[in-house]
Amino acid sequence: MRTCVILNPAAGGGSSPKRIRRTVSSIPGAEMRISPAPNLVGPLALEAVADGFERIVAAGGDGTVSVLASALLESSPGVECGVLPIGTGNDLAQSLGVPTRPDRAAALLRAGRATPIDAIHAAAYGTRAPEGANRESVVGEVRDLHAWNAVVGGFGGRISDRLSPGMKGRWRGLAYLRAAVAELGELRPRRVRLDIDGRVTEQELLMLVIANGRYAGGGIPFVPGAQVDDGWLDVVAIRPAPIGRLAVLVPRLLAGRHMTDSSVEHTRARTVGVEADPGFWFNVDGETWVDGSATFDLRPRALPFIRP
């Protein structure tokens, strides 16, 4: 099978094309192409499809995979997608069961098989987009995109803005945790109106996670039981709590033992609508998106991914 590996050299704070090329050389029939900019990963993937490649592999982090997979979904949904995780968090890779060591991920690309996973379709009524955001947003206009791993709203929605290339390169997966500590000044509840499969509630939330995969924020198991191909969105809402209770909740969250906490509500759904006060930013697959209201729905079995 002809395989094209698209490298985002900026992933993880900067990756060595020479080192990645050695890894790619272990995959039979593989060719590597280097994207001159992160936002050109998608067009390069479509060029590779036009050139006859049957399997397109994203060499990068969650943002790289998200952009590449979304491009394939929109134009070539039958082409297989693979992941060579060299990013900061690599949460989608972990959710897929892809090893985070590039050599082991390459071994999976040699031996694994492609099976379809779900996608999260998102449309935002953006009030504003962050300066320098990788994703395109227009004030007052609905912008559609797809997430493959998770959407995080509220606290954590702008954590990626605090991640410099140097921090990513030095701290790797721990960079998200370090950025979260720096973001603690923004830890305040927001009034949110949730519409979950037609059931409407209003409540104050610190964080909202709409997940396809298990992990987000650099390996934190926000939804330990999530499956990327089960036909459901996993919705985790975290409500305000006294500081003493939060001090207990945080280590439980990091260990994936938070789902029974009284401040946490877990629901499975196929559609989710969110209306929130300003300051409730959304992060999509590790990239800051918009501050505003949005709707999310499931696209089942959207794209085949190589996994165990």
Q: Is 141 a catalytic residue?
A: no
Instruction: Give the start-end residues of each E strand in the chain.
Output: 3-7, 30-34, 55-60, 80-85, 113-128, 142-147, 150-154, 190-196, 199-205, 207-211, 233-238, 264-269, 271-276, 281-284, 287-307
Tokens of 20: 């990645």
How far apart (Å, rounded) are the C-alpha atoms in residues 186 and 206? 10
How far apart (Å, rounded) are the C-alpha atoms in residues 286 and 202? 26
- Cα dist from 224 to 207, 221, 254, 275, 290, whole Å: 17, 5, 11, 26, 26
Q: Looking up tokens 């067009």, which residue turns up?
A: 43
Catalytic residue among 47, 183, 202, 287: 287
The residues, any chain, with a CB within 8 Å of residue 282's CB and separated by 6 or more, are: 122, 124, 151, 152, 153, 157, 288, 289, 290, 291, 292, 294
Tokens of 186: 């923004």
Task: Give the residue numbers annotated as catalytic, written as ranges.
Answer: 287
